[in-house]
Amino acid sequence: MNPETEFREGLDELADHYKEILKILGEDPEREGLQKTPMRVAKAMQILTRGYFQDPQKVLTDAIFEEKYNQMVIVKDIDFFSMCEHHMLPFYGKVHVAYIPNGYITGLSKIARVVDIFSHRLQVQERLTQQIKDCIQETLKPQGVMVVIEAKHMCMQMRGVEKQNSITTTSDFSGAFQQAKTREEFMNLLRGESRRI
């Protein structure tokens, strides 16, 4: 499915609701600048929540390869955008994923696709972190997985405390990453010389 050209059932109903929301907010949805807005927003919301209708485990299993490599694999600086489930405002940032294979690896782009699928749902950062880790652990069954997310939240920047420069960091890990030395190696690689690339 191409989310820019194919939309799910309920699109017209969603647009009707946004038209009513505009009225409740004190706007005139019939004025020129707003006439197409309800449908635009409905389409945008279907794109932003497309992850509910995608299977992240299938993405990984479609590209599993037997490989004897048993050192850390890191895919870092994966850009993501998600929607806070509390205020339906965006939060965005970087996801860093590491896993230690146990006989099988997956295509590197598939890790980014897993991030994309889970982030295209209404989320909280803590759960997003855990879902990415659990999906990779359960599907690839590696020696361990670690996920770190650094994000800015528009619900903190645009409303409430209005702190524009705050960054929230979350992490979750399993298996070999329960050892402090392994976690430290991952964090050092995130901060280290590879940043120069």
Query: Could you confirm whether 155 is annotated as catalytic?
Result: yes
Q: What is the pLDDT of residues 3-33, one digit of tens each?
A: 556 799 999 999 999 999 999 999 999 999 9
Q: What is the pLDDT of residues 87-123, one digit of tens each?
A: 999 999 999 999 999 999 999 999 999 999 999 999 9
Annotated catalytic residue: which of 20, 30, 35, 86? Answer: 86
Roughly what angle, to the nearest 10 degrees, separates helices 125-140 and 108-119? 140
% of residues, the chain, pLDDT over 70: 95
Residue with tokens 């659990």: 134
Query: Could you confirm whether 17 is annotated as catalytic?
Result: no
User: For residue 159, what pLDDT is reported?
Assistant: 81
Would residue 12 be called left, alpha or beta, if left means φ above 0 and alpha means ψ between -120 and 50 degrees? alpha
What is residue 164's DSSP assignment?
A: T
Query: Could you confirm whether 87 is annotated as catalytic?
Result: yes
Mean pLDDT of 58-80: 96
Phi and psi, residue 157, nearest 5°: -90, -40
Residue with tokens 């694999």: 73
Letter for the amino acid at 49? T
Query: Could you confirm whether 153 is annotated as catalytic?
Result: yes
Query: Could you confirm whether 57 is annotated as catalytic?
Result: no
Annotated catalytic residue: which of 27, 57, 87, 157? Answer: 87
Distance in angstroms (rounded) separating the CA atoms of residues 126 and 183: 18
User: For residue 165, what pLDDT is reported?
Assistant: 83
User: For residue 2, what pLDDT is reported?
Assistant: 59
Annotated catalytic residue: which of 46, 84, 131, 135? Answer: 84
Predicted model pTM: 0.91
- 116 compared with 156, residue with greater pLDDT: 116
